[in-house]
Structure 1
């Protein structure tokens, strides 16, 4: 009886810690021009890009285009009323799982970009993963450049 309970407990632990979510994505990105991605949607997910648990996945690190892909994403965004945004890289943070880790450890660091626009009351962090590539959308609160 105790062995069965122990076995059941171990199985529950293993399955509760696993995720059915795909770790790494490799969605191809489309360029509007050399410096800007073509993005056509605004996310409805309140955490997309605004939480390290749900970063924007721009890809490109494998081909040494990670940082430029981060800027290509940000260059496609506008403020809530179409304002020109400005941004700077505040640093790296937050390890996330990735099969595309160039060092083989299974996790990568995100980049934290601080974004603002004229007359904004605050600076907003957008978390970007340059190792994995997913469908790009503008985070809630942003619009897309025309």
Structure 2
């Protein structure tokens, strides 16, 4: 009985300990979208506005806010955004998700109002240069084309 009681006490203590999550405050201002989002097709956003901010999407302090976590469309919205991009040479881009990073406060976060950014590695076909793009699927914001990139156009 004692052999069972000691591990049980450790489990109870470990599970009841509160962990404090540190999060950056600057990214999680919630939903700031002022313009309706249009789709080219089910898998691609129509992006019409070019960003003039060199940090937009390229810096974790200024991620692209695609939203969708409330409607279970967060990952789909991330792909819709990335599918809309072309490289500087007007060539298609390839991308892969490099993981989650960078906890931040968000009224739309799952646990304790904290969300995580997704980091994607993006490369223009035929190029060796790779860019990191940070995407926030918890909050919504106006979607723009990051500096140096182009977007698919409506036909």
TM-score by length of 2: 0.76
Q: Which residue number corresponds to residue 59 of structure 1?
A: 67
Aligned length: 127
Q: Kindly report the root-mean-square deviation, in angstroms, between the aligned alpha carbons of the 2 structures.
A: 1.8
Distance 2:73 2:48 in 1: 22
1:23 equivalenced with 2:29 (yes/no): yes
- CA deviations 1:26-77 (Å, max 9, x no partner) are 5353222100111101110010000000000000011110000000000111
Further displaced range: 38-47 or 114-123: 114-123
Q: Which residue number corresponds to residue 127 of structure 1?
A: 134
1:1-146 superposed matches below 5 A: 23-25=29-31, 27=33, 28-103=36-111, 105-146=112-153
Which portions of structure 1, spanning 4 or more consecutive aligned residues, are displaced by more than 2 angstroms? 26-30, 118-121
Change in 2 beyond 3 A, CA 1:102/1:26: farther
Distance 1:140 1:26 in 2: 20
**Shift of residue 120, structure 1, vs aligned partner:** 2.3
SS of residue matched to 1:126: strand
SS of residue matched to 1:46: coil
TM-score by length of 1: 0.80
Distance 1:22 1:53 in 2: 10
Q: Which runs of 5+ in 2 are unaligned?
A: 1-24
SS of residue matched to 1:42: coil
Instruction: Report which of the two structures shows the higher radius of gyration computed on alpha carbons.
Output: 2
